[in-house]
Amino acid sequence: MSLRINDIAPDFEADTTEGRIRFHEWIGEGYAVLFSHPKDFTPVCTTELGLMAGLAPEFAKRDARIIGISIDPVESHCRWKADIEAATGHRVRYPMIGDPDLQIAKLYDMLPAATEGTSEGRTAAANATVRTVFLIGPDKRVKLALTYPMTTGRNFDEILRAVDSVQLTARHQVATPANWKQGEDVIITPAVSDDEARVRFGGFEQVLPYLRRTRQPV
């Protein structure tokens, strides 16, 4: 069964480009973004991992660690780093997990349907991880899960936006509306009474009986 929101993210040990890790220990007390790509030395993946390298300081500001994974071996990841930097101008300094035995890919349901075997002789269309993203919280529970087809590069600005939303709603009893961005108005959850909302948020706009909008709390 696929991992669902609020499931405990499975723990594992793995070799990475930054050494061997135990995942939950590596996450520590902050957030983590685990994202898979189909195959090293391929065009879309090169752009994605370079973009993530460029965004690494933004994730760090949010106390969110980033880690990549594919079922290529660590040695392949290390060789690929030079191409990523040449193509995008960003040096990959975050760890990349090598998963040639598919253990973690299967644990996190990152493989396309009808995939069997090991990584030997695989093609991007058969035995490779699709573009999956998991946001995992300090409680080691899944906060966000997204899956993209192999041919569609991800918008990692959206992942940052989702981190902002998840962290904001963890601190305050608010939700974020469609297309919300940092600093914009938020929605007060039904768990907060009108009287409590006036105290906590300094007032609100009653758009509908069940929709109350207020300024983003700080």
CA-wise closest residue to 91 among 80, 100, 75: 80
CA dist 122 → 6, 105, 112, 126, 152 (Å): 33, 14, 13, 6, 20
Tell me the three state secondary structure of residue 181.
Answer: coil
DSSP single-letter state for residue 187: E
Dihedral angle at the C-alpha atoms of 70, 71, 72, 73, nearest 10 degrees? 110
Tell me the three state secondary structure of residue 68.
Answer: strand
Active site amino acids: 45
Which residue shows structure tokens 């946001």? 135
